Amino acid sequence: MLVLTERALAARSLLEPTAWLVLEQLALQADVIDSQAVAEQSVRTIAESVGRSKDAVARALRQLVAVGLIDRGESRHGFSGRFTGGHYVVDLRAAGLRLPAEPVAAPVAPTPILPTAPPAPSTPLDFAVDPATTRPV
């Protein structure tokens, strides 16, 4: 879940609708690393998630980089030096987005209060006993 701040309206007005959709998707998939929202997503993965073509998503990513709402990074394999994929650092503050401080739990239905069973009828404890027969009188 994302929280929109007052800046979100201004940021959204700068963007094409697909760019805003991609920005939201990146923010939702991001992990907070060193106080930065980092999303390890490929263009194809994002395209599948938002239901747009990879070319439309690539254009949206370029627009987001151009306006400074995301930075694109590339990861390399430590041993071979080959590229292993990309990641995007989302500037949540500039975009007017905020991740909730704690995960939001789904609402829980209240537990109905069931009536308790009436107490069992009491038996008298104080009764007279005939000492000769030890039977109740």
Rounded CA-CA distance 46/22 in Å is 7
Q: What is the mean predicted confidence (pLDDT) over 2-18? A: 90
Query: What is residue 78's three-state secondary structure?
Result: coil
Number of structural domains found in the chain: 1
Q: What is the pLDDT of residues 20-71, one digit of tens each?
A: 999 999 999 998 888 889 998 889 999 999 999 999 999 999 999 999 999 9
* Domain assignment of residue 118, yes or no: no
The answer as to whether 126 is a domain residue is no
Distance CA 48, CA 53 (A): 8
List of residues 6+ apart from 65 with CB closer than 8 A: 71, 72
Find the CATH number of the domain harbouring 22.
1.10.10.10
pTM of the model: 0.66
Measured CA to CA, the distance from residue 72 to residue 34 in angstroms comes to 16
Residue 66's Cβ-count burial label (10 Å; 0-12, 13-18, 19+) is exposed
Provide the pLDDT for residue 19.
96
pLDDT winner (highest mean) among 71-75, 89-93, 100-104: 89-93
Domain that holds residue 7: 3-98
Q: How confident is the model at residue 18 (pLDDT cuts 50, 70, 90)?
A: very high
Q: Which amino acid is at 54?
A: K
* Structural domain contains residue 127: no
Q: 134 lies in a domain?
A: no
Note the pLDDT tens digit of each residue in 102-122: 555 666 777 777 666 666 655
C-beta separation of 56 from 63 below 8 A: no
Q: Does the residue 82 lie in any domain? A: yes
Examine the pLDDT at 72 and tell me if it is beyond 70.
yes
